[in-house]
Amino acid sequence: MAAPPAELPPDLNPSAPRASFDGLPMEIKARVVEHCAEHDEKWAKLRDHLEECVDAEERPPFKGAIKKTDVRRAFQAATETYVPTIGALFRLSRLWSTLAAPHRFKEVRTSQTDTLLFRHHIVQRRGHLFRKVWFDAHDTTILHNFVLILPHFSAVTEADVTDEGFGGYLDEASETDGLSWTALTDASPFGLATVFGRLTYLKTDITRTEDIVRLASAAPNLRALHLSEVAENDGGLTRIFEILPDLRDFVLKEADSELLRTLNNAMFACGGQLFPPIASLEVDVQDDLSEAMRFAQHFAPSLSTLTFNFTSKTRHDYPDDAVYPNLRSLRLEGQVDEIEALMSCMKREQFPAIVELVVCSDQLGVQMAPSMHEAVKNLGLEMQLLERVRIYDPRLCLVDHLLGRRPSQFRSKGSSVRYDLHRPSIKRTLDFLGEWFERAEGPGADGELARLAKVLQQAELERVARAF
């Protein structure tokens, strides 16, 4: 009797069903897409960081010196070899295309829209997926053509408006051209008024107060407004706080003491007027800390997160009467000497609810200076509720994050500082799962393994997705 033929391994048996990327469960596919999108975002941040490093490396040490081009060539080679993973998934099949499309078509720059493919294919099929618009095209025709197709972008709620790509053209345009500042508020056929009326986030480098107020008036539903610079030193900017009652996140960059003093005087003159309940505020501190702190005090009742970015040497006329009763997180960036000076002045009565301190500076380097160590220790003794302290160099932190390393954390010798409030609860849960598994394998535990498997289903999906 002939022996039965030996079974071939699945990978050598042509009749055996083959595993395929398309055969994955839908939940796994969705997680794979999310991980790919996160990977692309991390690469974009790393690319920007590397470009800054290359620029610094190429900067000649003295006038007439030869630039180092080898570093630039290596950087260009690295960027050219990277293929966005979301784009690769999008081209796999129709199903993967559908899953990847919301990530691939999340943002649009007007400078990239002047093609037949975009205007006649992408806009028609994917226009409803875009959530953010960058007005960055330095061309009047491109801006006009883009505004004409804006009605297709029905989900846009965020915008980045540049002066060169937007404000400058509206200033130059006349009413007869069909596109001017009035298009933001009038019922025009161009769609600008409709899109701006939906915005909840707006970032702009337009510097003229009048134009900033125009943008705010056109977008009354804004919850986040980020201003890169304000050139005019007048109190007119305070009008945005009347126009935007729902504002929760406000960033004011390049704000010198004269502008902040003018704004403070104008806001104090308002008497009992209620300002929007801003919860997160970021202000650049150029030369006078007291004006920045007094500006933040206008929003003290609602303020929970405050960021000061010290861009230069500062006069430390510290206001002892500035109180932030509900502030929970304080972030200090920039000049280390200025950060340490502020920390040495902080009192418990001014920051009674603070639980988190973040210090971020590219001057920290690899090793923290003893003076910073001492400043944090003393602050930990002063602030009884302080639970988390993070001190890091953003350049090193970015590289560590992309390499899978956690940024170094500082433990104060003062009051107890806890860094991860989730760790104890996670450990308790894992201990419970281990005990549950032991019981499920024992006698008389019918159905326990099935119940445990159901509980762990989401974790299993995460494990499989991360394997790709």
| pTM, 2 dp | 0.76
Handedness of CA 297, 302, 305, 307 (dihedral sign): negative
**C-alpha distance from residue 6 to each of 1, 9, 13, 14, 16 (Å):** 15, 9, 11, 14, 14
Confidence at residue 17, expressed as pLDDT on a 0 to 100 scale: 52
Handedness of CA 165, 166, 171, 176 (dihedral sign): positive
Confidence at residue 85, expressed as pLDDT on a 0 to 100 scale: 87
Rounded to 10°, the helix 94-104/26-58 angle is 50
Q: Is residue 195 part of a domain?
A: no
Cβ-based neighbours of 223, under 8 Å, separated by 6 or more: 200, 201, 246, 247, 248, 249
Confidence at residue 400, expressed as pLDDT on a 0 to 100 scale: 44
For 167, the token pair is: 């404000």
Q: Is residue 185 part of a domain?
A: no
Per residue in 148-196, pLDDT (tens digit) is: 888 899 999 999 998 887 766 665 555 445 566 766 776 665 578 888 9
For 191, the token pair is: 């769609």
Helices (H) then strands (E): counts for the chain: 19, 11
Q: Are strands 158-161 and 249-252 parallel, antiparallel or unpaired?
A: unpaired
Q: Which amino acid is at 89?
A: L
Q: Is residue 253 part of a domain?
A: no
Contact 196, 218 (CB under 8 A): yes
**Sites in the chain below the pLDDT cut of 70:** 1-21, 56-71, 167-180, 182-183, 186-190, 272, 365-368, 395-424, 444-446, 458, 460-468
Q: Is residue 33 part of a domain?
A: yes
Q: Is residue 155 part of a domain?
A: no
Per residue in 86-130, pLDDT (tens digit) is: 888 888 888 888 898 999 999 999 988 888 889 888 999 999 999
Confidence at residue 411, expressed as pLDDT on a 0 to 100 scale: 39
Q: Which amino acid is at 449?
A: L
Confidence at residue 264, expressed as pLDDT on a 0 to 100 scale: 92
Helix (H) / strand (E) containing 282? strand 280-285
Q: Is residue 431 part of a domain?
A: no
Rounded to 10°, the helix 289-297/257-269 angle is 30
Phi, psi for 68 (deg, rounded to 5): -90, 105
Confidence at residue 455, expressed as pLDDT on a 0 to 100 scale: 75
Confidence at residue 59, expressed as pLDDT on a 0 to 100 scale: 60
Domain that includes residue 63, residue range: 22-101
Q: Is residue 181 part of a domain?
A: no
Closest by CA position to 376, among listed 428, 368, 222: 368
Residue 73's region, left for phi above 0, alpha for psi from -120 to 50, else beta, is alpha
Number of folded domains in the chain?
1
DSSP string, 216-266: HHH-TT-SEEEES-----SGGGGHHHHH-TT--EEEE-S--HHHHHHHHHH
Residue 447's region, left for phi above 0, alpha for psi from -120 to 50, else beta, is left
Q: Is residue 432 part of a domain?
A: no
Confidence at residue 370, expressed as pLDDT on a 0 to 100 scale: 78
